[in-house]
Copies of this chain bind each other. A is one copy, B any other.
């Protein structure tokens, strides 16, 4: 079954929205991320439902079918592998690669993806710490995720850090962020992705996205 550029984008975006909720995904949420109007989204959801990639019921939102999730995971896999390539091999900064990877993720060649994976030495996460699905669509069990990726309102325990430069660790100490601390994100500011964080039940403090990315937590 042939799949178009546009369809791949929809699947990827529905997948991303599904990651941080177990509810059905709303038409509007998809419209916002695809940069389309809600009416166009409805249109596309109906078509993708016919193809069996999503389970969709009028006014009730949508979720990925098993096939749909498989396809989405494959796109995510490609996106994240290309990001590793761009940062590790081409010398881009982690914040410059997203748009290019958005394009590269649509390249169709299973063999190429496998060879790329090997060339990069089978990375388990992308430059932002997000896990890279394997060929079968399984996510590696990391046992932890970057604090930056934790959904708002869920609590987790600080189990490690993703880098160990002195300045970073000193900052953690100053913020009272130590191993074992109980963490809950109360807010994420869209402007700079900075995070309001409740530590061990205390009133929330503000930390930067950069810090949140390098703090590893277990749910």
Contact = CB atoms under 8 A, between A and B. Distances in A.
Interface in A90-118: 90-92, 96, 99-100, 103-104, 106-109, 111-112, 115-116
Q: Please state the number of chain copies in the assembly.
A: 2
A116 B85 CA distance: 11
Contacts of A115: 90-92
Contacts of A96: 111
A201 to B, nearest CB: 46
Contact of A109 (B100, B106, B116): B100
The dominant DSSP class at the A interface is helix
A107 B107 CA distance: 9
- List 5 A-B pairs, minimum CB-CB distance, nearest first: A90-B115, A103-B107, A100-B109, A100-B112, A91-B115
A106 B99 CA distance: 14
B86 A112 contact: yes
Contacts of A111: 92, 96
A119 interface: yes
Nearest to A99: B109
A51 interface: no
A89 interface: yes
Contacts of A112: 86, 90, 100
19 contacts: A86-B112, A89-B119, A90-B112, A90-B115, A90-B116, A90-B119, A91-B115, A92-B111, A92-B115, A96-B111, A99-B109, A100-B107, A100-B109, A100-B112, A103-B106, A103-B107, A103-B108, A103-B109, A104-B107
A89 B85 CA distance: 12
Contacts of A91: 115
Nearest to A104: B107
Given A92-B111, A100-B112, 6 more contacts: A90-B112, A90-B119, A96-B111, A99-B109, A100-B107, A103-B109
A99 B111 CA distance: 12
